[in-house]
Copies of this chain bind each other. A is one copy, B any other.
């Protein structure tokens, strides 16, 4: 068991098992071949060939979203897709560009479109010793139930920026007040591409650090986190190395925190695997 195992787990994507999904000149998704097959009969919205698929629906983002939604509805009925999550993500040629359409979050891995999220390291420190507030995910979560998590994390829904998503989730997930989350420091972006039961996760995580006061204790109000615990970073790193207690992508966020704060250093044999491996090229 090693740090590199955690990173490999999030990058198990195999290009031979998927085909690109195009919108005009932009590659906007990766369809696993079984998902591509399921999509093949919706010929008015998608053209699916052997080695690539293409979005055919035209019009503004509202019009294209409606066309895609009709396809998604059928896919849910046919059980190719899980239930709707009633939260939509922007699908755009690149981060910050105007969306081509909006997609229900439940359908994101089916199409393998890039999804963006925020993760917050809520920490306390004494000299060079660090502690992180760690949440335990509720046992009824759809993804990674019962796994350990950052103090705050969430997907960036359509129309939201990274900082606005962080503030919203900080309040809902951990009762972090607006004045406190305003002090969070944007600290980078991590990326991975992972095949799951549903398809391909092509994820970018914007990471933030927040030094929290000694008298602050997070409290969850949306039912997504069962409990919080303040854990020494050295203990957390041991558990990351030797267990899968943490949610798959949270391992990456905490390893990045340890690298940036000099807790993992170049004399660690895995240092370059970690420092480099957290940043999959955004091709």
Which residue numbers of A lie inside 8 Å of B, CB to CB? Answer: 94-96, 161-163, 185-189, 191, 204, 206, 259-262, 265-267, 269, 271-272, 275-276, 278-282
B189 pairs with A266, CB closer than 8 A:
yes
**20 pairs, CB–CB < 8 Å, chain A vs chain B:** A95-B266, A95-B272, A96-B269, A161-B267, A162-B267, A163-B265, A163-B267, A185-B261, A186-B259, A187-B261, A187-B262, A189-B259, A189-B272, A189-B276, A204-B272, A206-B266, A260-B260, A272-B282, A276-B279, A281-B281
Give A221 to B191 CA distance when docked, in angstroms.
Answer: 42
Write out the residue numbers on chain B whose beta carbons fall within 8 Å of the beta carbon of A262: 185-187
In this complex, what residue of B is CB-closest to A116?
B266
Give A87 to B118 CA distance when docked, in angstroms.
Answer: 45
Q: Which one of A204, A259, A267, A272 has the greatest number of beta carbons of chain B within 10 Å?
A: A272
In this complex, what residue of B is CB-closest to A206?
B266
In this complex, what residue of B is CB-closest to A266?
B162
Known: A96-B269, A162-B265. 4 other contacts (CB 8 A): A163-B266, A185-B261, A188-B260, A188-B275
Write out the residue numbers on chain B whose beta carbons fall within 8 Å of the beta carbon of A94: 272
Give A276 to B205 CA distance when docked, in angstroms.
Answer: 11
B261 pairs with A189, CB closer than 8 A:
no
Write out the residue numbers on chain B whose beta carbons fall within 8 Å of the beta carbon of A260: 187-188, 260
Write out the residue numbers on chain B whose beta carbons fall within 8 Å of the beta carbon of A282: 272, 276
Write out the residue numbers on chain B whose beta carbons fall within 8 Å of the beta carbon of A272: 94-95, 189, 204, 282
In this complex, what residue of B is CB-closest to A278?
B279
Write out the residue numbers on chain B whose beta carbons fall within 8 Å of the beta carbon of A266: 95, 161-163, 186, 189, 206
A208 to B: closest C-beta gap in Å? 8
Contact of A189 among B188, B189, B191, B275 (CB under 8 A): B275
Give A187 to B188 CA distance when docked, in angstroms.
Answer: 12
Give A265 to B206 CA distance when docked, in angstroms.
Answer: 9
Minimum-distance CB pairs A-B, first 4: A279-B279, A162-B266, A189-B275, A185-B262
